[in-house]
Amino acid sequence: MALYRMRVYRRFPHKQMRQIVIYLQPTTSELAWQTTFHLENTIHHFEVIRLWEQPTESFLQTLGLLPFAVLSQTSDRAQVLQQVAQAIDQIADQRVQGQVAASSFILAGLVLEAETIQQLLRRDLMQESVTYQLIKDEGRQEGRQEGRQEGRQEEGRSIILRLLS
């Protein structure tokens, strides 16, 4: 954080900056409660947000925060994801709807089982998102590479068997 701040300061000395570390999941690490960095004569201050301590309602009221709602302070994450899904259904712009759904799916995966998420979020919305398409394409490329490698191995086996016979 301090290094990043210094880099920005060098380029934009008059620029104001507010640095915030956001923790997505509960942790026992002492770092989650650290708001300053000390190094000899250097002290750097920053803010910390621990999502699991934040009230769920504030996430449900803002479109851009909807995907984080399931990580907020709640005892029933599935119910919160259901509320997120309902809010996503109300979004008029299909592109935005798909992006919010995909983001919600990914973040919900940190705290909920895949089956629960798939039951609550519409898969067709996510499939239209750029994020979903990138992950899908990456999986295809990996599958092709594995297929080629297996093909080469099989070809090598058949050559060896022909030579032996």
pLDDT at residue 154, as a whole number? 80
Does the pLDDT value for residue 128 go beyond 70? no
Of 37-41, 92-96, 129-133, 139-143, least confident by mean pLDDT is 129-133
pLDDT at residue 79, as a whole number? 96
For 129, residues 6+ apart whose C-beta sits below 8 A from its C-beta are 98, 99, 101, 102
pLDDT digits (tens, 9 = 90+) for 48-79: 999 999 999 999 999 999 999 999 999 999 99
Whole-structure pTM value: 0.70
Q: Give the whole-angstrom CA distance, residue 134 versus residue 99.
A: 12
pLDDT at residue 132, as a whole number? 62
Confidence of residue 131 (pLDDT cuts 50, 70, 90): low
Task: State both tokens at 39.
Answer: 């190094």
Q: Sign of the C-alpha dihedral, residues 68, 45, 1, 29?
A: negative
pLDDT at residue 16, as a whole number? 94
Q: Give the whole-angstrom CA distance, residue 128 versus residue 96.
A: 10
